[in-house]
Amino acid sequence: MSDKQSRQTRAVRAAVDADQQFGAVMPPLYLTSSFSFEGYGRSRPYDYTRTANPTNDALAAALVDLEGGAGGTVTSSGMSAIHLALQLMNPGDLLVGPVDCYGGTYRLLTGCAERGLFRLELVDQTDVAAVRAALADGAQMLWVETPTNPLMRVVDLAALRDISQKAGALMAVDNTFLTPALQRPLEFGADLVVHSTTKYLNGHSDVLGGAVVAATDPLHAQMQHWSNTLGVSASPFDSFLTLRGVRSLHARMAQHEANGTALAELLARHPAVSAVHYPGLKDSPYHELAQRQQDGFGGMLSFELQGGEAAAARFLDAIRLFTLAVSLGGVESLVCHPPSMSHATYDDQALAAAGISKGLLRLSAGIEATDDLVDDVKQALDASRY
């Protein structure tokens, strides 16, 4: 595809009119576990879906094009994509990760480290000096999430790439929150980009999936090898649905962001609210950095109420249009209480280290009409005060 086309156009048109057999406008779904040999010793491009499948490859090619990578591997979930990337670690190797990452990532990293699969050091990655010091212990990989979940801290991709390169460590970035529509870590020199495609890329909350996009052919070859070996490959049906979602990614992200911005502004001026975490707000400590390395601020935000956990409970009782559920990035708005839900894998000490208070609430702004969401959050904030 032409580089001159915008990313939005390429997302819409990924694999459109590519079918050689019937000229199907949309790429066919290959629901098959295996592919025949033409004859003895004459294999075809595909043989077994765990290894590769045309529908999985169509999604992977679209993600590679959008992220600007050398190759992509689609997997059965975001966690399996992370597990796949961690195959680059050997016993004794050191991984430097963030103190405030996705709860499942935290459980996987700490669980692997406890079993001696690699050494782990978790640091606040907004503190570049602290990351540099941790990498100096001979790290093989720097694991990055930006913005972080759930506090929406933005970490400096260019600065981290600089110090990880000097330390000889690979840099892997979980780009789930922003997607390549709003942030492309490979452009900052990252080696791997990881996604939970369950979230914005599919965008309709009806698929579990993941992806690893590698910056180089040798890294991609290792991901393909381990995906096939471990069997973490995606289901073609899920890839079909996810590619369908990718076509509307840019249109959805624009509405997610419009809603996220309107909600953050409402929260920032409401007396019941003590803190709002959204890099799109001009007085956010991360606003300038986010503007520099992102193409937008996305639809995720979190906030704390003056009345703490009790007020958060009243807010959740009163809210109507935001479904109380984990996950994010779908067309429908969701609200989550991280300490008891997405980050229940954190004990009190880990919550404190990550700065997650018991009264924190996280919103995933969907693509509903902005006024409806604003009205609903306003009435729930009012109700949370009594």
Residue 364 CA to residue 352 CA, distance in Å, equals 23
Q: How far is the CB of 62 from ligand PLP (least distance, A)?
A: 18
Is there binding between residue 210 and ligand PLP (CB under 6 A)? yes
Minimum distance from CB of 81 to ligand PLP (Å)?
7
Residue 218 beta carbon to ligand PLP: minimum distance, rounded to whole angstroms? 25
Is the CB of 196 or the CB of 261 nearer to ligand PLP? 196
Hey, what are 312's tokens? 């958060």
50 belongs to the catalytic site? yes
Contact criterion met (CB below 8 Å) for 304 and 294: no
Q: How many residues bind ligand PLP, per CB under 6 A?
A: 16
**Do 146 and 157 meet the contact criterion of CB atoms below 8 Å apart?**
yes
Site for ligand PLP, residues 115 to 174, rule: CB under 6 A: 145, 149, 174
Decide if residue 198 touches ligand PLP (CB under 6 A): yes
Write down the catalytic residue from 7, 10, 13, 50.
Answer: 50
Residue among 342 and 384 whose Cβ is closer to ligand PLP? 342
Q: Is 102 a catalytic residue?
A: yes
- DSSP 8-state assignment for residue 69: -
Closer residue to ligand PLP (CB): 172 or 311: 172
CB of 346 to ligand PLP, least distance (A): 14
Q: Any residues with CB less than 8 A from the CB of 313 and at least 6 apart, and which?
A: none
- Among 282, 284, 276, which Cα is nearest to 377's? 276
> How would DSSP label each residue in 214-280?
ESSHHHHHHHHHHHHHHT-BPPHHHHHHHHHHHTTHHHHHHHHHHHHHHHHHHHHH-TTEEEEE-TT
| CB-nearest residue to ligand PLP | 78
Q: In the complex with ligand PLP, which residue's Cβ is closer, 54 or 103?
A: 103
Q: Which one is catalytic: 174, 191, 238, 295?
A: 174
Mapped onto helix, strand or coil, the DSSP state of residue 323 is: strand
Alpha-carbon distance of 274 to 358, in angstroms, equals 13
Q: How far is CA 90 from CA 36, 85, 119, 160, 224, in A?
A: 37, 12, 9, 22, 18
* Separation between Cα atoms, residue 282 and residue 290, nearest integer Å: 11
Helix (H) / strand (E) containing 76: none
Residue 335's DSSP bridge partners are: 324, 363
Quick one: 49 or 198, whose CB is closer to ligand PLP? 198
Nearer to ligand PLP, 157 or 266 (CB): 157
Q: How far is the CB of 177 from ligand PLP (least distance, A)?
A: 6
Q: Quick one: which of 161, 184, 199, 277 contacts ligand PLP (CB under 6 A)? A: 199
| Nearest distance, CB of residue 363 and ligand PLP, angstroms | 14
Binding string, 69-108, against ligand PLP, x = CB under 6 A? --------xxx----------------------x-xx---
* Interface with ligand PLP (CB under 6 A): 77-79, 102, 104-105, 145, 149, 174, 176-177, 196, 198-199, 208, 210
Q: Which residues are catalytic?
A: 50, 102, 174, 199
